[in-house]
Amino acid sequence: MTGIRHEPLAPTRTQRLPHGAEIGTHVHDEHQIIYAGRGVLTVTTGSGSWVAPSTRALWVPAGTPHSHQAHGDLTLHLVGLPPEDNPLGLGAPAVLAVQPLLRELILAHTHTPYDGSPERARLRAVLLDRLRTAPLSALHLPAPTTPHIRAVCALLRADPADNRTLAVLGREVGASARTLSRLFRADLGMTFPQWRTQLRLHHALVLLAEGLPVTAVAHRCGWSSASAFIDVFRRAFGHTPGTHRDPAPR
């Protein structure tokens, strides 16, 4: 893979990144579970981006070129798995819900030395069992490939609070609302409102990690009120943005 760093992956490790830090595009021969115990992590590939706060973990399959970006002071817990060990059966990145037991297993696994002991093997086996049953979260923001959709998405990425209709945006990029609506479904596998909501949720997680108040986040992401934002956020993440705080770092 020309121009892409090939990095060996330790079976387990913890890494800290300051706010705004980036790790450029690289690839591993191993599968990887990435959990941000503190802060919010964005992983980007050629097919889009995935975002994970401390209630979620990212699955990155072996051989997937990807980059990282830290939002807030980030503590990463990284678990490497050999290519033949795929507890999720997934060949593409995904976001997993991290319930309390799975969180503790990931932390225990990454905070203790990888020594090949029977105790470590049992811990790893329980961790893999919990990963197999972890619910998937729809937090993928797919990357557009067609020119008109790329242009619309670029406008909204520049200003997630942009509330213009698809018809108005279409006049700016030179396509009708009907054409754009069809292209969103064909290119991104979701409707225009669905993609815009996903973009706003991604942006909201970033702003919350930076410490902005809930009301300010709601307005900067384009919701008409804090209550409307709170309702969408709760349905997506299972808790309100006001309770969205990093656990104590470990």
DSSP secondary structure, 44-55, as one string: EETTEEEEE-TT
**Which residue positions in the chain have pLDDT lower than 70?**
1-3, 6-12, 113, 244-250
Residue 185 lies in a domain: yes
**HSE-up (13 A, CA, CB side) for residue 87:** 19
What domain range is 186 assigned to?
145-243
From CA 81, how far away is CA 64, in angstroms rounded? 14
Write the burial class of residue 135 (CB in 10 Å: 0-12 exposed, 13-18 middle, 19+ buried).
exposed
Longest dimension (CA), the chain: 64
pLDDT of residue 12: 62
CATH of residue 122's domain is 2.60.120.280
Look up residue 129 and give its two tokens: 């069992």
Q: How many domains does the chain have?
A: 2
pLDDT of residue 1: 46
pLDDT of residue 139: 80
pTM equals 0.83
Look up residue 154 and give its two tokens: 């670029």
Pick the last residue of a domain from 94, 123, 140. 140
Handedness of CA 129, 59, 93, 85 (dihedral sign): negative
